C-alpha cells in the first residue's frame, strides 16, 4: 500500500500543471465560450507534441504507451484550469473505445492520427428521454448490402460539430433484452444526413444534438462485434466516469485553493474572514471532500491501470466525487460572498464545470444504485 | 502509487486473521455489543466476556502483539506502521480486545521520553499485559480546552502531592493506574506547565466514583485526588513537558480508530437487510434503503483510504497531523451516520432494544444510536478536529 505518486507521476503532474497554467489560463475558457469550434487549435497541437493525445496509445501506433493513471493525472491538471476542448471526447471516449474494441486495421488507421492531433472523436450514446447508461437505445441501424443506414437522434454528444468521426451506438437487432443488439459504428462526421446542433449549456461546453437521417455507414466501420457493443460501452462508461472524476478533482482543488486564499485575504469586522470558525469549518469540510475525492479517484484509476475489476471502485469514486464537487464549488461561492456572483470572477466557471462533470456518465444517485447492486442488494 | 497490500503485508494479515479465529471464543461476535467509534459499550458488562477478554489479551502478550510497534530491545515486534494498521484493522474487524492505554499510549511514550527509572519500572509489566491504565486528562472545567487543567502536583521531598479532579476516566474502576497530567508549575505559560504521572489507583486519597452513561453502563468515572502522594520516580520524563509528550503520543494513537468495526457491522447489516422484508417486499429492493446503504459503503471506503494514507505517511517518516484529524473526524462521523442509517431503515423496530422477539439486528441499532453520540465528542470533538484542519493544515489564523 503506497498512496504517494511515483517519481514519474510527480514529474508528469508538475509539468502538466506548468504547461496549462501558461498555455490555458481561465481566460481561454471564456474566449472559447463564443468560439465556434470551442478550442484553440494551437493548444491542441501543443498537447499532441507533449504526447498527451497519445498518452494511452501504445508506441506501435505512435503513442507514448502510458496507462490510465497517467491519463488521470493529465485530466486532473486540465480540470484545474477548466481547460476547454475535445480532449475528453477524443482521447477518453473515442480513443479508449478504439483501443479496447477496434480491429487491428482500425487501430492502424486511426490511432497514429489521434496521437498526432489529426483526429477529433466523440461518442454518441445518450438519446432524448434517457438519463444515464445504455438503458435506452432507439437509434436504428439497418443493414443494406455492405452498408448500414442509421436513423434517429442522439443527445449530449460533445464536440460532434467538429468531430472527424462520431462513434454512434445504434440498435441493429431488437435482441432478447435491451442489452443485446447494440452495435457501435464509426460514423464520418461529414456524412450526408447528419445534422448537428450545438446546445446552449451550463458549462459553455460544446454538447450537441445529432440527428441521423438515413446516414450510410460501411459495414467495415463497426467497432467490435455486431450486436455486442453493450459490454464495450459499459466498460467505456466506467473508465469515462473515473476520467470525469479526475477532471473534477482538479476542478475542486482550484476552487478550494482560491477560496482558502480569499478567506485569508478578505477582511470584515477588522479581521480576515478565515479567522472565523464558521468559515474555518466550511474549509475543513472542503478538505475532506477534496482529499477524499482525490484518493477515491486515484484508487479507481489505479485499478483500471492494473487491469483489475473496477466496477465498485469506479462507482464509489463517481458517487463521492460528484456530490463532493457540488458541495465544494457551492461553498466556494458562499465563502467568496457577493463578488463571486460577478461574471468576471472565475468561481462560477468551476461551479459550472463541476455540475457538468457531475451529470456526465452517471451522477451520484446513479452510481450509488450501482454500488447497491455490487453490495448484493 | 499502489492500492494493494504487498506480499509481506498480505502474509502478516493472514497470520493475524488466523490468530484471531483461533484465540477468540466462538461466541465472541454475539458477546460483543460494541458500536464502532463509541465509548459507551464495554465487553466488561458481563462476567463471561470479561474473562474472555482477559484471556485473549494474555495470548496477545505471549504472541508479542501487545507491543507490536515497540523496538525489539524492549521485547517489541518493530512492525511497520502499515503492519500495525493491518493489525488494528483485523483486530477491530473481529471486535477483539486490542491495545489499551498502557500498551498504546503509556508504553510508547515511556520508551521515547522516559527516564531509565521509568523504563525499569514500567516497560516490562506493560509489555506483558500485566497492568492497565486509564487516561487522566479531562477535568470538569477542562474538556476541549485541555490546557486549562487545574489539577496540581506540588513538589514535596521525594514525592509530588496531587490535588484535583479528573473526569471521564474510561474504565478507571477496572484499571490499575492513572496516566495523569497535572500542573507542576503554576507560573509557567499554558502548555509548558504540566507533567505526566503514573498514579496507583490504590494510593490513599484517590476516590473513584462511577458515571453511568446513557446506555446504562458504568464505563466512565470521576476521580478525586485529595493530597495524593506520588513518588517522584513516577513522573514521566522531564518536569513540565507533559503537554509535549501528550501531543507526541498522538503519533501512536493516530491509527486507533477501530476501523474494521465499521466494515464488520456494515457487512452484518447488509446480510440482515437481504434477509428482511418490509410490508411484504424485500427490504433491500427499496430504493431509499439501497441509496442510504450505498452512501455508507462509500463513506466506509473513504475512511479506509484515509486510514491507509495515514499509515503510509507514518512509514515515510512524515507527520500526519491534519491527515489524522481528517481520519478521526470522518471515522467518528461515520459512527453517527451508520447509526442514523440503520435506525432509519428499521423504522419503528429500531426502538426495540433487544429481548423482545420483534427486536431486529440484536438490538444493536438503538444501542449504536445512543453510543455514537460519544464518538464525535471523545478524544477531540469534531469541532476541534475541524479547527486543527483549518488552522494547522490551511494556515487560517485565530484573529
CA-based angle A312:A317:A322, to the nearest 5?
A: 135
Q: What is the pLDDT of residue A135?
A: 81
Across the interface, whether the CB atoms of B290 and A377 are under 8 A apart is answered: yes
The answer to whether position B91 is within a domain reads yes
Residue B2 lies in a domain: no
- The larger pLDDT score, comparing residue A190 to residue A179, is at A190
Residues A1-30: tens digit of each pLDDT: 899 999 999 999 999 999 999 999 989 999
Q: Is the pLDDT of residue A38 over 60?
A: yes
8 A C-beta contact, residue B92 and residue B98? yes
Strands, E assignment, A86-172 = 121-124, 140-144, 147-158, 165-171
Q: Which residue of B has its CA nearest to A7?
A: B1
Is the predicted pLDDT of residue B167 greater than 90, yes or no? yes
CATH architecture of A231-374: Up-down Bundle (1.20)
Cβ–Cβ contact B5 with A under 8 A = yes
Q: What share of chain B has pLDDT > 70, as a percent?
A: 99
User: Which residue range is the domain that position B371 belongs to?
Assistant: 249-393
Q: Is residue B70 within 8 Å of residue B108, measured between CB atoms? A: yes
Domain endpoint, select from B183, B216, B239: B239
- Domain residue ranges in chain A: 7-119, 123-228, 231-374
- Nearest C-alpha in A relative to B285: A377
B35: distance to nearest CA of chain A, Å? 22
- What is the nearest CA distance from A26 to chain B, expressed in angstroms? 24
Q: What is the mean pLDDT of chain B?
A: 92
Residues 6 or more apart from A263 whose CB is under 8 A from it? A272, A273, A274, A279, A283, A335, B396
Q: How far apart are CA A167 and CA A186, in angstroms?
A: 5
Last residue of a domain, one of B127, B162, B193: B127
Residue A177: CB partners within 8 Å, gap ≥ 6? Answer: none
* CA B95 to mean position of chain CA atoms: 12
Q: What is the mean pLDDT of chain A?
A: 96
SS3 A140: strand
CB-based burial, A246-279: b 16+ in 10 Å, e otherwise: bbbbbbbbbbbebbbebbbebeeeeebbbbeeeb
The rounded percent of chain A whose pLDDT value lies above 70 is 100
Residues B316 and B226 in one domain: no
Taking the mean position of all CA atoms in its chain, how far away is CA B129? 17
Any A CB within 8 A of B312 CB: yes
B67 domain residue, yes or no: yes
| CB < 8 Å to B302, chain A | 292, 295-296, 320
Maximal CA-CA distance, chain B: 76
Handedness of CA A114, A117, A120, A123 (dihedral sign): positive
Same domain? For B321 and B191 the reply is no
Question: Are the Cβ atoms of A274 and B396 closer than 8 angstroms?
Answer: yes
Using one digit for the tens of pLDDT, what is the confidence trace for B4-52?
A: 999 999 999 999 999 999 999 888 877 777 899 998 887 556 777 778 8
Residue ranges of B 322-341 with Cβ closer than 8 A to chain A = 322, 326, 329-330
- What does the alpha-carbon distance between residue A293 and residue B61 come to, in Å, rounded to a whole number? 40
Residue pair B221/B169 in contact (Cβ under 8 Å)? The answer is yes
| B253 plus B389 within the same structural domain | yes
In this structure, the answer to whether residues B120 and B140 fall within a common structural domain is no
Q: Does a structural domain hold residue B317?
A: yes
Q: B288 — contact with chain A (CB < 8 Å)? A: no
- CA–CA distance, A326 with A74 (Å, rounded to integer): 22
Evaluate whether B265 touches B364 at the Cβ level (below 8 Å): yes
Q: Are residues B65 and B137 in the same domain?
A: no
Three-class SS of residue A121? strand
pLDDT for the residue B41:
81
SS3 B138: coil
CATH number, span A123-228: 2.40.110.10
Within B149-275, strands assigned E span 152-156, 159-168, 177-183, 194-200, 206-212, 218-231
CATH at B284 = 1.20.140.10
Q: Packing angle between helix B287-315 and helix B81-93, nearest 10 degrees?
A: 150
Q: Are residues B388 and B317 in the same domain?
A: yes
Q: Say if A123-228 and A231-374 have the same CATH topology.
A: no
Would an 8 Å CB–CB cutoff place B302 in contact with chain A? Answer: yes
Calpha distance A362→A322 (Å, rounded): 9
**φ, ψ dihedrals at A121, nearest 5°:** -125, 165
What per-residue confidence (pLDDT) applies to B269?
96
* Percentage of chain A exceeding pLDDT 90: 95
**What are the percentages of helix, strand and coil residues in chain B, rounded to 5?**
50, 15, 35
- A31-34 long-range contacts (CB < 8 A, ≥24 apart) are A32/A84, A32/A85, A32/A204, A33/A204
Set of chain A residues whose Cβ sits within 8 Å of the Cβ of B326: 287-288, 291
Residue B25 lies in a domain: yes
Alpha helices, H only, chain A: 7-23, 26-34, 41-49, 68-80, 87, 96-101, 104-116, 229-265, 277-305, 311-336, 347-358, 364-374
Q: Do B95 and B187 fall within a single domain?
A: no
With beta carbons less than 8 A apart as the criterion, state whether A375 and B285 touch: no
The A-side interface with B (CB below 8 A) comprises 1-6, 9, 69, 260, 263-264, 271-272, 274-275, 277, 279-281, 283-285, 287-288, 291-292, 295-296, 298-299, 302-303, 313, 316, 319-320, 365, 368-369, 371-372, 375-377
Interface test with A, best of B144, B278, B290, B294 (most A CBs within 10 A): B294
pLDDT digits (tens, 9 = 90+) for A111-156: 999 999 999 999 999 999 999 988 889 999 999 999 999 999 999 9
What average pLDDT does the segment B370-396 reach?
A: 94
| B399 domain residue, yes or no | no
Regarding the domain with residue range A7-119, which homologous superfamily does it belong to in the CATH classification? Answer: Acyl-CoA dehydrogenase/oxidase, N-terminal domain (1.10.540.10)
Confidence of residue A284 (pLDDT cuts 50, 70, 90): very high
Cα dihedral B266, B272, B274, B278, rounded to 10, equals: -120
Find the CATH number of the domain harbouring B208. Answer: 2.40.110.10
β-bridge mates for residue B206, sequence order: B225
Lowest-pLDDT range, A79-83, A273-277, B219-223, B358-362? B358-362
Of B290, B306, B389, which has the smallest distance from its Cβ to A369's Cβ?
A: B290
CA distance B237 to chain A (A): 35
User: Do B153 and B258 sit in the same domain of this protein?
Assistant: no
Stretch A327-339: mean pLDDT: 97
Nearest to B16 by CA among B57, B58, B65, B54: B65
| CB-count exposure of residue B398 (10 Å: 0-12, 13-18, 19+) | exposed
**DSSP 3-state assignment of B293?**
helix
Domain count along chain B: 3
CB of B207 closer than 8 Å to CB of B260: no
B294 to A6: CB separation less than 8 angstroms, yes or no: no
Assess whether B235 and B255 both reside in one domain: no
pLDDT at B44 (0 to 100): 55
Query: Is B81 a domain residue?
Result: yes
Interchain proximity A376–B270, CB inside 8 Å: yes
Predicted confidence at residue B164, as pLDDT, reads 98
Angle at A102 (CA atoms; ends A101, A105), nearest 5 degrees: 155
Decide if A335 contacts A259 (C-beta within 8 A): yes
* B149 and B115 within one domain: no
Q: Is A259 within 8 Å of A332 (Cβ atoms)?
A: yes
Q: Does some domain include residue B398? A: no
Mean pLDDT of B71-91: 89
Tell me: do B217 and B296 sit in the same domain.
no
- Give the number of other CB atoms < 10 A from CB of residue A338: 8
Question: Per-residue pLDDT for B86 more than 60?
Answer: yes
Torsion of CA B281, B286, B290, B293, to 10 degrees: -70
Q: Name the closest residue on chain B to residue A318, using Cα atoms.
A: B298
Based on the fold, state whether residues B261 and B343 are members of the same structural domain: yes
User: Using one digit for the tens of pLDDT, what is the confidence trace for B119-161?
Assistant: 999 999 999 889 999 999 999 999 999 999 999 999 999 999 9
Residue A174 pLDDT > 90? no
> How far is Cα B104 from Cα B353, in angstroms, rounded to an integer?
33
* pLDDT tens digits along B351-369: 999 888 899 998 999 999 9
Query: Partners of A168 in the beta sheet?
Result: A124, A185
The domain boundary residue, chosen from B73, B93, B127: B127
Amino acid at each position: 500500500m503506497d498512496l504517494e505518486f511515483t517519481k514519474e507521476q510527480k514529474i508528469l503532474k508538475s509539468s502538466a500543471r506548468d504547461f496549462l497554467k501558461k498555455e490555458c489560463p481561465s481566460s481561454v475558457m471564456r474566449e472559447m465560450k463564443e468560439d465556434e469550434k470551442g478550442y484553440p487549435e494551437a493548444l491542441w497541437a501543443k498537447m499532441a507534441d507533449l504526447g498527451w493525445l497519445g498518452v494511452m496509445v501504445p508506441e506501435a501506433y505512435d503513442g507514448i504507451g502510458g496507462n490510465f493513471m497517467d491519463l488521470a493525472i493529465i485530466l486532473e491538471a486540465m480540470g484545474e484550469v477548466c481547460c476547454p476542448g475535445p480532449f475528453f471526447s477524443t482521447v477518453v471516449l473515442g480513443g479508449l473505445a478504439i483501443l479496447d474494441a477496434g480491429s487491428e486495421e482500425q487501430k492502424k488507421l486511426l490511432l497514429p492520427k489521434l496521437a498526432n492531433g489529426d483526429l477529433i472523436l466523440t461518442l454518441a450514446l445518450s438519446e432524448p428521454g434517457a438519463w444515464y447508461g445504455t438503458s435506452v437505445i432507439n437509434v436504428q441501424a439497418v443493414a443494406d448490402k455492405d452498408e448500414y443506414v442509421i436513423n434517429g437522434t442522439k443527445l449530449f454528444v460533445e464536440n460532434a460539430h467538429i468531430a472527424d468521426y462520431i462513434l454512434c451506438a445504434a440498435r441493429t437487432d431488437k435482441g432478447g433484452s435491451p442489452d443485446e443488439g447494440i452495435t457501435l459504428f464509426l460514423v464520418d462526421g461529414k456524412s450526408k444526413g447528419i445534422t448537428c446542433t450545438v446546445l446552449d449549456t451550463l458549462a459553455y461546453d460544446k454538447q450537441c444534438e445529432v440527428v441521423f437521417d438515413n446516414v450510410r455507414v460501411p459495414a467495415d466501420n463497426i467497432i467490435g462485434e455486431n450486436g455486442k457493443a453493450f459490454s464495450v460501452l459499459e466498460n467505456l462508461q466506467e473508465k469515462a466516469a473515473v476520467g470525469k472524476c479526475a477532471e473534477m478533482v482538479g476542478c475542486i482543488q482550484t476552487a478550494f485553493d482560491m477560496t482558502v486564499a480569499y478567506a485569508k485575504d478578505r477582511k470584515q469586522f477588522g479581521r480576515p474572514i478565515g479567522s472565523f470558525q464558521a468559515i474555518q469549518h466550511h474549509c475543513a469540510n472542503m478538505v475532506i471532500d477534496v482529499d477524499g475525492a482525490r484518493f477515491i479517484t486515484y484508487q479507481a484509476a489505479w485499478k483500471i491501470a492494473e487491469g483489475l475489476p473496477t466496477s465498485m471502485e469506479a462507482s464509489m469514486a463517481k458517487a463521492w466525487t460528484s456530490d463532493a464537487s457540488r458541495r465544494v464549488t457551492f461553498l466556494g461561492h458562499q465563502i467568496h460572498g457577493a463578488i463571486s456572483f460577478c461574471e468576471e470572477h472565475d468561481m462560477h466557471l468551476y461551479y459550472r464545470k463541476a455540475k457538468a462533470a457531475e451529470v456526465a456518465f452517471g451522477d451520484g444517485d446513479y452510481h450509488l444504485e450501482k454500488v447497491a447492486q455490487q453490495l448484493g442488494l | 502509487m499502489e492500492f494493494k497490500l504487498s506480499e509481506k503485508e498480505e502474509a502478516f494479515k493472514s497470520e493475524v486473521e488466523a490468530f484471531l479465529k483461533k484465540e477468540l471464543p466462538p461466541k465472541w461476535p454475539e458477546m460483543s455489543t460494541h458500536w464502532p467509534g463509541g465509548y459507551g459499550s464495554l465487553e466488561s458488562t458481563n462476567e463471561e466476556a470479561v474473562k474472555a477478554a482477559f484471556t485473549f489479551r494474555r495470548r496477545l502478550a505471549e504472541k508479542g502483539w501487545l507491543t507490536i510497534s515497540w523496538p525489539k530491545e524492549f521485547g517489541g515486534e518493530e512492525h511497520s506502521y502499515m503492519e500495525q494498521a493491518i493489525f488494528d484493522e483485523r483486530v477491530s474487524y473481529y471486535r477483539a480486545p486490542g491495545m489499551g492505554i498502557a500498551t498504546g499510549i503509556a508504553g510508547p511514550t515511556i520508551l521515547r521520553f522516559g527516564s531509565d527509572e521509568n523504563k525499569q519500572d514500567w516497560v516490562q509489566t506493560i509489555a506483558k499485559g500485566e497492568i492497565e491504565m486509564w487516561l487522566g486528562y479531562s477535568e470538569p472545567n477542562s474538556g476541549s480546552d485541555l490546557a486549562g487543567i487545574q489539577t496540581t502536583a506540588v513538589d514535596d521531598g521525594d514525592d509530588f502531592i496531587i490535588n484535583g479532579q479528573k473526569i471521564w476516566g474510561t474504565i478507571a474502576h477496572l484499571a490499575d493506574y492513572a496516566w495523569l497530567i497535572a500542573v507542576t508549575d503554576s507560573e509557567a505559560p499554558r502548555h509548558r506547565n504540566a507533567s505526566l504521572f503514573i498514579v496507583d489507583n490504590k494510593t490513599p486519597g484517590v476516590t473513584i466514583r462511577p458515571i453511568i452513561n446513557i446506555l446504562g453502563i458504568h464505563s466512565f468515572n470521576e476521580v478525586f485526588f485529595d493530597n495524593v502522594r506520588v513518588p517522584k520516580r513516577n513522573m514521566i520524563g522531564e518536569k513540565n513537558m507533559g503537554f509535549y509528550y501528550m501531543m507526541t503520543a498522538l503519533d501512536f494513537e493516530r491509527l486507533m480508530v477501530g476501523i474494521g468495526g465499521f466494515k464488520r457491522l456494515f457487512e452484518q447489516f447488509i446480510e440482515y437487510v437481504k434477509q428482511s422484508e418490509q410490508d411484504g417486499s424485500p427490504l433491500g429492493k427499496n430504493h431509499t434503503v439501497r441509496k442510504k446503504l450505498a452512501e455508507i459503503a462509500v463513506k466506509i471506503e473513504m475512511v479506509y483510504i484515509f486510514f491507509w494514507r495515514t499509515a503510509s505517511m507514518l512509514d515515510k517518516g512524515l507527520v500526519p497531523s491534519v491527515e489524522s484529524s481528517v481520519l478521526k473526524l470522518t471515522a467518528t462521523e461515520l459512527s453517527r451516520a451508520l447509526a442514523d442509517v440503520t435506525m432509519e431503515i428499521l423504522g419503528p423496530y429500531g426502538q426495540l432494544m433487544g429481548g423482545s422477539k420483534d427486536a431486529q439486528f440484536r438490538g444493536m441499532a438503538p444501542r449504536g444510536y445512543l453510543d455514537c453520540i460519544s464518538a464525535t465528542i471523545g478524544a477531540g470533538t469534531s469541532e476541534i478536529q475541524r479547527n486543527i484542519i483549518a488552522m494547522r493544515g490551511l494556515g487560517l489564523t485565530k484573529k
